[in-house]
Every structure is written in structure tokens, then in C-alpha cells.
Amino acid sequence: MDALPLSDAARTTAATLLLAIVAVESGGLYLLSIVRGSTPRTPFQLAFGRAGHAHAGVLVTLGLVVQLLADATALSAPWSFLARSGIPLAAILMPAGFFLSSTGAGRTRPNRLIALVYLGAAVLAAGAVSLGLGLLVAPAR
């Protein structure tokens, strides 16, 4: 069986995303410390921690799939870059927004860094739309 041919961009991005799973794992350990009571946090902070961790895990996984799909398009720059990188970038921005906007002792509301969640959502949408359109117009193989 032949190995799945990957472009250089797909291979390096996928490798980076696989290594990033260790960061997602450390977020899970942080959540365990909150749930076990060894890291006191407010219910708001626990909810935002869960949201950040969930978004990170799902978007990193989706980012891996995107690498295969992006190789199937004939998009030119900058659309190719956006299609390949939008979702992985959202995997950084959105969790960072959840975690960073809830830091601080006793916090019950997000700080201004919540803007990262919205920025990440916009980048996620742009990446998904450009990849989806790229797949729709890709020549048949």
C-alpha cells in the first residue's frame, strides 16, 4: 500500500498540530486540577476552561482533516493559505480567548481578551468557507 501523498504544507502543518495535542492535553490536566479543587476557580472560570479545552481539541482535530482536503483543491494564494490555515489558527485564537479572558482570582466575567474568541470565530469561518468553495470548484481527478 502506498503512503498517502501529502504536500509539504500539509505535512508540516499536520506535524505541528499533532505536537500541539500535548498543549491540549495540558489544558485537560489544568481542568482536572480545578474539578478536584486543588486550583480554586469560580464557576465562570470552570465553564470557560471547559469551553477553551473543547474548542482546542475539536479544532486541532478538524485542522488535521483540513490538511488532506486542502491538498485536493486548486486554490491559489492567498486562498490556499486561508483554506489550510484558518481552522488551525482558530484552534489557537479561540481557546486562548476563553482561557486568557477568564484569568485572575475570583473572576466572574470575561476581560477584553474575549475578543480573541470572536476573532477566532471569524478566522474559522473564513477558513471553512474558502476550503469549502475550493473543494466545490476543484477539478475532478
Which pLDDT tens digit goes with each residue over 40-74? 899 999 999 999 999 999 999 999 999 999 999 99
Q: What per-residue confidence (pLDDT) applies to 3? A: 66
Task: Identify the DSSP state of 39.
Answer: S
How far is the C-alpha of 45 from the C-alpha of 34, rounded, in Å?
A: 9
Average pLDDT along the chain: 93
pLDDT band at residue 1, thresholds of 50, 70 and 90?
low
Q: What is the pLDDT of residues 92-124, one digit of tens each?
A: 999 999 999 999 999 999 999 999 999 999 999
Q: What is the pLDDT of residues 6-53, one digit of tens each?
A: 999 999 999 999 999 998 998 888 888 888 888 889 999 999 999 999
Query: In the chain, pLDDT over 70 holds for what percent of residues?
Result: 96
Which residue pairs from 44-48 have beta carbons closer than 8 angstroms and sit at least 24 positions apart in sequence?
A: 44/102, 44/107, 44/108, 44/109, 45/102, 45/107, 48/98, 48/99, 48/101, 48/102, 48/110
* Residue boundaries of the structural domains of the chain: 8-136
Q: State the first-to-last Cα distance of the chain, in angstroms, to the nearest integer.
A: 20
Full-model pTM: 0.90
Q: What per-residue confidence (pLDDT) applies to 2? A: 62
